[in-house]
């Protein structure tokens, strides 16, 4: 007897190998988007109505985020839709990891040890001594789902949490998160740590530049896990060169997918990760389980 022919699932995100293997138990995996028209399932980062137009045979869809109109359209088209509810906490965890890694020089001191610098360990302790975390002020620019998750995690670190956004949280939520609202201009000079978590759109494009960096504390720890386009690249480098930014961590860089520029790579006080915010086995498996329920 011949084996059962598996349905085709398009995967348009980078996926943990173990999650991809689990998906392969139920679907034949397609990595080429030209196969979308014949796919019965898809896992993508972002989905909108155009995706359903492209894939008329779709019966299961998993995505990190989607347009509001897609929710209703998926229901009308009998497409099972799974959103990664755990994504926000996953990104928040990575943001916190980068924040502390930058402050304590984890990546740079690791590189120094691997290059054989341990014999001068006393000099390393001077060069890579970092900053304490507790009793400091952490500023969160963008108090959406990720920002709220981050604030919740920070509550156990005895830090002061300030946030700014276009909308203020309800007072009971602020109290639960131990977070204080302030205007953006008031946020900048207060923060020892500054986290960028706003969406990249017309109002935030290249919004963080020289004027904003100049208002920040000297030696601020700057973390961007949102989008690179929010920050003016040249002004970011200038802030690093002047010491305005004491340490930085970027999960998003300009010209992603290309070799990191020599200029950015030279900074020993900058931690870089290749857009890993939502890349965990657990987060990927949430989408895999969603699309696999359709065939189970």
- What are the catalytic residues? 227, 258, 275
Q: Which long-range contacts (CB under 8 A, 24 or more apart) does 200-203 make?
A: 200/226, 200/227, 200/229, 200/230
Distance CA(17)–CA(280), nearest Å, equals: 10
Beta bridge partners of 81: 61
CB of 42 closer than 8 Å to CB of 12:
yes
Tokens of 183: 């205007």
Collapsing DSSP states into helix, strand and coil, what is residue 66? strand
- How far is it, in rounded angstroms, from Cα 30 to Cα 27? 9
Give DSSP secondary structure letters for 73-98. Answer: HHHHTT-EEEE-TTHHHHHHHHHHHH
Buried residues in 243-270 as b, exposed as e (16+ CB within 10 A): ebbbbbbbbbbeeeeeeeeeebeebebb
Neighbours of 17 (CB within 10 A): 9
């Amino acid at each position: 007897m011949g084996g059962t022919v598996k349905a085709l699932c398009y995967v348009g995100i980078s996926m943990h190998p173990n999650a991809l293997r689990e998906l392969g138990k139920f679907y034949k995996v397609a990595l080429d988007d030209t196969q979308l028209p014949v796919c019965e399932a898809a896992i993508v980062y972002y989905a909108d109505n155009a995706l359903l137009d492209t894939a008329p045979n779709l019966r299961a869809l998993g995505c990190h985020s989607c347009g509001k109109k897609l929710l209703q359209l998926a229901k009308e088209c009998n497409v099972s839709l799974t959103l990664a509810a755990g994504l926000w906490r996953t990104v928040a965890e990575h943001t916190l990891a980068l924040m502390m890694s930058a402050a304590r020089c984890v990546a740079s001191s690791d590189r120094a040890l691997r290059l054989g610098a341990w014999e001068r360990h006393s000099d390393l302790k001077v060069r890579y001594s970092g900053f304490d975390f507790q009793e400091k002020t952490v500023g969160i620019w963008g108090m959406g789902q990720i920002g709220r998750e981050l604030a919740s995690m920070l509550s156990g670190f005895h830090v002061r949490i300030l946030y700014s956004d276009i909308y203020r949280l309800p007072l009971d939520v602020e109290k639960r998160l131990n977070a204080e609202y302030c205007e953006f201009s008031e946020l900048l000079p207060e923060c020892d740590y500054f986290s960028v978590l706003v969406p990249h759109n017309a109002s935030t494009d290249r919004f963080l530049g020289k004027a904003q960096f100049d208002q920040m504390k000297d030696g601020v720890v700057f973390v961007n896990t949102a989008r690179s386009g929010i920050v003016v690249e040249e002004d970011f480098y200038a802030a690093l060169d002047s010491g305005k930014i004491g340490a930085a961590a970027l999960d998003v860089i300009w010209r992603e997918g290309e070799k990191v520029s020599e200029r950015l790579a030279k900074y020993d006080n900058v931690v870089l990760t290749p857009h890993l915010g939502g890349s965990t086995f657990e987060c990927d498996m949430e989408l895999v389980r969603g699309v696999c329920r359709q065939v189970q």
